[in-house]
Amino acid sequence: MGSLWEMTAELPKFESLKRDAKTDVLIIGGGMAGLLCAYFLKKSGVDNILVEAGRICGGTTGNTTAKITAQHGLIYDSLLRRFGAEKAGLYLRANLEALEKYRLMCENISCGFSEQNSFVYSLTDKEVLDKELRALEKLGYHAKFCSSLSIPLKTAGAICFEKQAQFHPIMFLSETVKDLAIFENTRVRKLRPGKAITEYGNIEAEKIIVATHFPFINRHGSYFLKLYQHRSYVIALKGAENPGGMYIDCSGEGLSFRESGDLLLLGGGGHRSGTKSRGWLDAEIFAGKNYPNARTLCRWATQDCMTLDGIPYVGRYSKMTPNLYVATGFNKWGMTSAMAAALLLTDLIQGKKNAYERLFSPSRSMLRPQLAVNAVESFVHFIKPVSPRCPHMGCALKYNVHEHSWDCPCHGSRFDEQGEPINGPAVRSIE
């Protein structure tokens, strides 16, 4: 079953590539990040082509919960402690500006855009909320503490960012992409300097943006060490109470709430992709107890790329590849992050300065505890003597009983039961 967004809106269709092509900028990947890059580059008069392996929005973007907020869990206390006020403040500003950009664009696009308060709650720990509030005060942002919430959970309270937003991502993008040069069903198999190789033809470009969610070039940038994927499950309930606002648990593995029309979107069950999961069970049990008269209209699951330090990787792919760019690692907050990424890359491609270049630079220090976790996970699953193996880097795949797929615990590639790739970074089928 597809997501609510896929069921309730239609995207324009685009032909696949039929012959060799040439452009100034090639964008690989038609999710929120790639499509916004193509949109802003075109608006700036930069000739570009976007290629998408399947249908645009067929990846994480078509399966998101589409909250548009600068409140990314309880990130600001952690950013402040690790990087100081300047970087934490830049992160906040980049995401608030992204929210404003959506607000402006959505004035002319009918896409269910609505202003909402955003809440991050903790079930038991008020101290972490107090710390976050103090961090936000230091950054000059006025957030509020709320002790009582309109969701059926006993909490220690929540931090509220007022006047954030939510929308229907496919309705938004179906308007945004209308005049763009897009080729669907055109997977890039290999990249050479200035050239992308697809099964239908080659595309020459002065500059290339990799917006494929998990970057698929291993030779540069070490993204296979710098990223892992985290998967979560969403159900859309009819007949459940509207909580008024957007809510998420601070742990990253609890429940998430938002409404869409007369439906409640309830998310949960988060886990590292390719590891044991309870699928939709957490959300379904909660719904059964707390909304006994509601029924599930549809359910879906998706995953996102998580970085070592909680900040996305946006900018030059690596120090060795001057004309290759990347936008990835949105840590489940890819609505504002993809917008910030597209605005930054549009500037970099045109040789313009941008205040956020250093903050998001993919070449920043990698020395974080998560690096060791990623390396150990990859090693353990690489030496496991079971088949089938992932064609990306050879890790042992694990069968996902909830979604009937073979999932990679190292980097999150997924394959259907016939061995065809569903999610990257793998670009080939299982042998």
Ligand X SMILES: Cc1cc2nc3c(=O)[nH]c(=O)nc-3n(C[C@H](O)[C@H](O)[C@H](O)COP(=O)(O)OP(=O)(O)OC[C@H]3O[C@@H](n4cnc5c(N)ncnc54)[C@H](O)[C@@H]3O)c2cc1C
Which positions lie near ligand X, rule CB under 6 A?
28-34, 51-54, 58-61, 64-67, 187-188, 211-213, 216, 232, 234, 267, 302-304, 330, 332-336, 338, 424, 427
Output the smallest distance, CB 58 to ligand X, in A: 5
Closer Cβ to ligand X, 374 or 423, answer by number: 423
Output the smallest distance, CB 146 to ligand X, in A: 19
Measured CA to CA, the distance from residue 196 to residue 183 in angstroms comes to 13
How many degrees, rounded to 5, is the angle at CA 31 between CA 374 and CA 365? 35
Count of CB atoms within 10 A of residue 271's CB?
A: 16
Closer Cβ to ligand X, 52 or 284, answer by number: 52
Closer Cβ to ligand X, 57 or 410, answer by number: 57
Closer Cβ to ligand X, 45 or 177, answer by number: 177
Output the smallest distance, CB 186 to ligand X, in A: 7
| SS3 state of residue 163 | strand
The single-letter code of the amino acid at 60 is T
Packing angle of the helix pair 85-106, 169-176 (nearest 10 deg): 70
CB 424 within 8 A of CB 214: yes
328 token code pair: 């990835």
Measured CA to CA, the distance from residue 365 to residue 309 in angstroms comes to 9
Output the smallest distance, CB 211 to ligand X, in A: 5
Closer Cβ to ligand X, 326 or 395, answer by number: 326
Closer Cβ to ligand X, 209 or 292, answer by number: 209
The alpha-helical segments, DSSP class H, found in 52-190 are 75-83, 85-106, 126-138, 169-176
Query: Among all chains, which residue has been given the structure tokens 């290759």?
Result: 324
Side-chain half-sphere CA neighbours of 408 within 13 A? 31
CB 14 within 8 A of CB 183: yes
Output the smallest distance, CB 74 to ligand X, in A: 16
Output the smallest distance, CB 393 to ligand X, in A: 16
* Residue 309: burial class (beta carbons within 10 Å; 0-12, 13-18, 19+): buried
* Residue 222: burial class (beta carbons within 10 Å; 0-12, 13-18, 19+): middle
* Residue 46: burial class (beta carbons within 10 Å; 0-12, 13-18, 19+): middle
Closer Cβ to ligand X, 318 or 336, answer by number: 336
Closer Cβ to ligand X, 155 or 303, answer by number: 303
Output the smallest distance, CB 98 to ligand X, in A: 9
Output the smallest distance, CB 396 to ligand X, in A: 22
Give the DSSP per-residue string, 199-245: SS-EEEEEEEEE-SSS----SSTTHHHH-EEEEEEEEEEESPPP-SS
Output the smallest distance, CB 29 to ligand X, in A: 3
Closer Cβ to ligand X, 168 or 381, answer by number: 168
Closer Cβ to ligand X, 256 or 354, answer by number: 256
CB 392 within 8 A of CB 184: no
Output the smallest distance, CB 313 to ligand X, in A: 11
Collect all residues with Cβ–Cβ distance below 8 Å to 76 and sequence separation of at least 6. 88, 91, 92, 132, 135, 136, 139, 141
Output the smallest distance, CB 383 to ligand X, in A: 27
Measured CA to CA, the distance from residue 124 to residue 106 in angstroms comes to 37
Closer Cβ to ligand X, 130 or 242, answer by number: 242
